[in-house]
Chain A
Amino acid sequence: MSLPGLERWRALPVTRRRQILTPILLGIGLAFPFVTSNAGNVDAAANAFTYVLLALGLNIVVGFAGLLDLGYAAFFAIGAYGYGIAASGHLKLEWSNLWVPLEWAGQVSRLVVPGQPDTVQFHFAFWPMLAVTAIVCAVFGALFGAPTLRLRGDYLAIVTLGFGEIVPVVARNWEALTNGAQGLGGIRTPKFFGFDFGFSPYPYYFLGLGLVAAAVWISIRLQESRLGRAWMAIREDELAAGAMGVNHVHYKLLAFAMGAAVGGLGGTFYVAKLTTATPDMFTFPVSVMVLVMVVLGGLGSIRGVVMAALFLAFLQSVILQDLTEYVHALGRVVGSETLQRVELITSLELIFGLILVLMMIFRREGLWPAVRRVAALTREQQDAAPARGGAVRLSWAPAVTPGGAERPLLVIEGLRKHFGGVAAAQDITLTIRAGELVSVIGPNGSGKTTLFNLITGLVPADAGSIRLNGNEIGGLPPHEIVGRGVARTFQNIRLFNNLSVTENLLVGEHVRLEAGVLGAIFRPPHVRREERRAVEDALEVVQLFGNRLLPRLEHPVSGLSYANRRRTEIARALMTRPTLLLLDEPTAGMNPAETLELMDLLRALPGLGITVILIEHKLDVVMDVSDRVVVLDHGVKIAEGAPAHVRSDDRVIEAYMGRRRRVPA
């Protein structure tokens, strides 16, 4: 089915589409309460906004950063109880003079009861509490997230589930704080310049609409920022993200915190409208419900998640009720007792379960995934003779090798590493001079990739030192080593598969950008400038590969040819502006023509001030491009020197071909 307008719509750039859609959607949202005659619908919609907020919050954690949080209701609870405790007067603390300024601001009162010590009664206003609970939730988000940092997928989920369970249990049992299982009641409703929201749904509707709009805006801004790219990189391949300079600890905690903050907003809003908070509102099924919304809509898809949340909210509040009526009527017509007694609302969790199972089996990407609409290559672009890279030039490359060529750049001494009983590196000593291109060769299992892993901090050494420009880098985490100017590619290519070429490259720029949370959300001029600059840098690097990558910039890398994937990975590493580049089998899988092309680029790199260490199996390539060759066998450096010299070295030949039998067969 292809409507005539649909094609034109899809041809519009995203910003234009947003400019058109936003006022339309806002208009609908604002008009809805006046258009519908039934106040119940407005109430249902206001409640629905809570779900949307929760879904958007979880989307940051699960969708953007890929952290499966099964205990998300905990933040809903903390937001709810946070406001509830502050606004219900349940908590009784002894009066002290600390409270005087707040009393003066009208947020607390002093309760004088004859015969007992004075107590302070809380009745904080709603609006500052929105901010306060969001911050408190953010802190708890980071707190609950911290233990999960080193865990992978399933285990991470279980730990979050644990926290998600502890919170309502604490709420149920800490009666002094929360009034236990009975819950808090009499929570004050918001007041806006003297107007009390009271129990009419209309003000809550508009407040909710505002909160949702803000959350959507924040989500979009985050997703399209340096933060969003860092999260998606972690989600796709945490190891590679670290190798590109993304500090996974920092960003995971940030994702938990931001997701929790949005959940807290939802909690505060919900409880302000409901005026009560009980522990049963925040149990595991609630966490699962929010997960169902995100899974149904599409992990990471903002519009999908919003639509799914609205749908499920209306399912609960309206659709199931109506359907039940129909089933009852059907029962009367058919004469079935059972049908007349069915209450579909009790099968809500059955529906959730079915959604989860069906989505996971048939449509893991969700119903409305954030689809990347990439125009297929035009005939022209497909047929274009691939131009080889032009003159290899990079605007940021120093004209002269800094510090002069031939000074020691990387000094490795006595490096040792054992895996179980296997010695992967045995007393390796090596000096790489600035401006060199050194190749590391050796048979399978000789420790070449281990050497790279040791240099880049992926694997800690057992002994020995690694000094870059005189500074010890052994022991530093990978993302910091990137910051020092060392970048790498991987033997079996670790790209961020679901991201486009451009997005992959921009992750490479991560270390040299500065935007933080506020910068990402508000986009002040300096952030906009650095984003523009980043895109320009990406274009520049891409042109090193002629027009091979240029027409495919917006394509997801999973669809690229093997050779193009290799090129993208090298380009991504170059985006970090390294002084030392480690390439692990860059020509593997390339045919001879592609290999020759890449060799041109490799030869040119030292001239750009980039020292290169190359692991290669194609010894023709090695002989051609290298200044020096180092040979490893069983973790030991067995030879080092000029290429031709090394190739005819007996020890090297024996390492590759095996020792001749001592006793002839």
Chain B
Amino acid sequence: MSTLDVVLQQIVNGLALGMMYALLALGFTMVYGIIELINFSHFSVFMTGTFVGLVVLNLMGVTAGGRSLTGLPLIGTLAVLFVVTMAVTGVLGVLIERVCLRSLRNVPGSAPMITTIGVAFILINAMLLTWGPQTQRFPQLLPNWRWALGAAEITFKQVVLFVVGLVLMLALSHLVKRTTLGKTMRATAQDADAARMMGIDVDRVIVLTFFLGSALAGAGSLFFGLYYGFTGYYIGYTTGLRAFTSAVLGGIGSIPGAVVGGLFIGLTQSLGGQLLGVKWTDVIIFSILIVIMVFRPNGLLGARLPQKA
């Protein structure tokens, strides 16, 4: 394979990965946009989602050692898997907001963020205690079809990721831009007091945002499981930091920014891994994070600067 082909392959891989990071970053950025909270627990919800997916699949009789599915059974299983997992993670997100964060809504400083760190630890450890430290195999639902793209190739898994990811993003975009509910979310994010003055129940909007954001994390978690074929209690951490960087890079609070950032980080990971070696990708990504936060906290697509003292 020539260098160009290698690069092309890594671009395909990177974009697929980027979709997952984008989904994860979206949920995170939506919550930040509305209450200016850096929600660490988001990435643990993501991790928990993979286990929820495992349970759902097992309940449907799909196990790790089993064969892949095609046609109608595949579509049906995927549909049930996504809907149920996203619903469960969505509810988990709402629970976290109600139980841990609502009472801290007006507390200045970093207390809310610290609380989310605590919640993240609780979730991680709960999964560790329930499932043990070893990696869990995730059922390989999707058949291993491949197609050539020049001298590179694209797998069926990647196509599914692209399609489902695109569908979810378009749905979110429609919701946010065209529905009344979406508009109330945008209004609340731009000026919560003015939103109240319009008669909007800001508390309910916040709950809804958490639900949607966590549901998207659930979708992202299924991407992880289906794509990589495994999961473990620790995956929230590395994937999370990358999704976090994606959100910050794109402009924290900005929805298109999360998508752009996610794709960028995905590409960075695969191209960077190819060129510099996998073990240095973390350093690269953390450095990007630090550089952005110090020199351009607004990110690439320049969302609103944070207001909290």
Interface residues of A (CB under 8 A from B): 68, 70, 147-148, 150-155, 157-159, 162-163, 165-166, 169-170, 172-173, 284-285, 288, 291, 295, 346-350, 352-357, 360-361, 364
Contacts and interface: CB of A to CB of B under 8 A. Distances in A.
B19 interface: no
A364 B293 contact: no
A353 to B, nearest CB: 3
Interface in B244-297: 244, 248, 279-280, 282-283, 286-287, 289-290, 293-294, 297
Nearest to A181: B279
B125 A165 contact: no
B115 A347 contact: no
A-B CB proximity, top 4 nearest: A356-B118, A353-B121, A353-B122, A350-B125
Contacts of B111: 360, 364
Interface in B217-234: none
Contact of A349 (B110, B114, B121): B121
A352 B118 contact: yes
Contact of B119 (A148, A346, A353): A353
A40 B289 CA distance: 44
A166 B287 contact: yes
A295 to B, nearest CB: 7
16 contacts: A148-B294, A152-B306, A153-B109, A154-B38, A158-B38, A158-B244, A159-B294, A162-B286, A169-B282, A349-B121, A353-B118, A353-B124, A354-B118, A354-B122, A357-B122, A360-B115
Contacts, number: 118
Q: Among A153, A291, A295, which residue has the most Cβ atoms of chain B within 10 A?
A: A153
A361 B104 contact: yes
A159 B38 CA distance: 13
Contact of B129 (A155, A166, A284, A346): A346
Q: Among B114, B124, B293, which residue has the most Cβ atoms of chain A within 10 A?
A: B114
Contacts of A348: 125
B162 interface: no
Q: Among A159, A284, A285, A353, which residue has the most Cβ atoms of chain B within 10 A?
A: A353
A295 B100 CA distance: 17
A68 B119 contact: no
Nearest to B294: A147
A284 B234 CA distance: 12
Contacts of B248: 158
Contacts of B117: 70, 288, 291, 353, 356
Q: Among A154, A169, A355, A360, which residue has the most Cβ atoms of chain B within 10 A?
A: A360
A153 B119 CA distance: 19
Contacts of B241: 165
Contacts of A159: 289-290, 293-294
Contacts of B120: 353
B106 interface: no
B178 interface: no
Contact of A154 (B113, B119, B290): B113
B95 to A, nearest CB: 13
B194 interface: no
B107 interface: yes
B115 A356 contact: yes
B107 A172 contact: no
B250 to A, nearest CB: 15
B128 interface: yes
A661 B308 CA distance: 42
Interface residues of B, number: 42
Q: Among B107, B110, B280, B297, which residue has the most Cβ atoms of chain A within 10 A?
A: B110
A285 B306 CA distance: 27
B45 to A, nearest CB: 14
Interface in B90-113: 100, 103-104, 107, 109-113
Given A284-B237, A354-B122, A155 B110 contact: no
Interface in B180-206: none
Interface in B116-152: 117-126, 128-129
Contacts of A150: 294
Nearest to A235: B109
B60 to A, nearest CB: 27
B309 interface: yes
A162 B279 CA distance: 16
B283 A155 contact: no
Contacts of A147: 290, 293-294
Nearest to A68: B110
A173 B284 CA distance: 13
Given A154-B110, A154-B306, A360 B118 contact: yes
Nearest to B107: A364
Q: Among A165, A169, A173, A346, which residue has the most Cβ atoms of chain B within 10 A?
A: A165
Contacts of B103: 361
A346 B127 CA distance: 11
B109 A350 contact: no
Contacts of B279: 169, 172-173
Q: Among A150, A153, A162, A288, which residue has the most Cβ atoms of chain B within 10 A?
A: A162
Contacts of A355: 118
A357 B308 contact: no
B308 A153 contact: yes
B122 A360 contact: no
